[in-house]
Amino acid sequence: MSRDHSLLASHGTARRSGPVVLVLRVLGAALLLAVAGIHFYLWQQGYRTLDVIGPAFLLDTVCGVGGALLVLFTPLRRLPVAAILGALLCAGTLAALLVTTTVGMFWFVESTAAQLWWESLWVEVAGTVVLVTLAAMARRRSPG
């Protein structure tokens, strides 16, 4: 295969991946908003009274909304960075959930029977996977 032909083939693949990147962008932003919504709801339901955990839930809310906006509106050439930042937020929140449930954190131990525990787990797992995938796909598509 000639160099020109392989360049055209890769350009065609990039063009076909455009709709996939758009879907992953919207899905990733929606999952970040879900992380933010879950944490804000739980903060309102009483987690705000917990030292360190309460402010962390509020910070997670702000970062989730900001991350969603970043993933939605960042130009394609910067999208891999935005997606990785969102994935790190989801992965960090997931790690905190698992540590808090198993050994505790900041003098607080969570239970899998807690309100929205399972929903939070799956949203954070899905957010991490979708946003890492988005970063990889956007990196392949971005110019230069």
pLDDT, tens only, 47-66 = 899 989 899 999 999 999 99
Quote the pLDDT of residue 123: 98
Q: CB of 100 within 8 A of CB of 57?
A: no
pTM of the model: 0.85
CA distance 47 to 4: 59
Q: What is the pLDDT of residues 75-133, one digit of tens each?
A: 999 999 999 999 999 999 999 999 999 998 888 888 888 889 899 999 999 999 999 99
Quote the pLDDT of residue 55: 94
How many Cα atoms within 13 Å fall on the side-chain side of residue 110? 23
> Collapsing DSSP states into helix, strand and coil, what is residue 45?
coil
What are the helix (H) ranges across the chain?
3-44, 53-73, 79-102, 117-141
Q: CB of 109 within 8 A of CB of 101?
A: yes
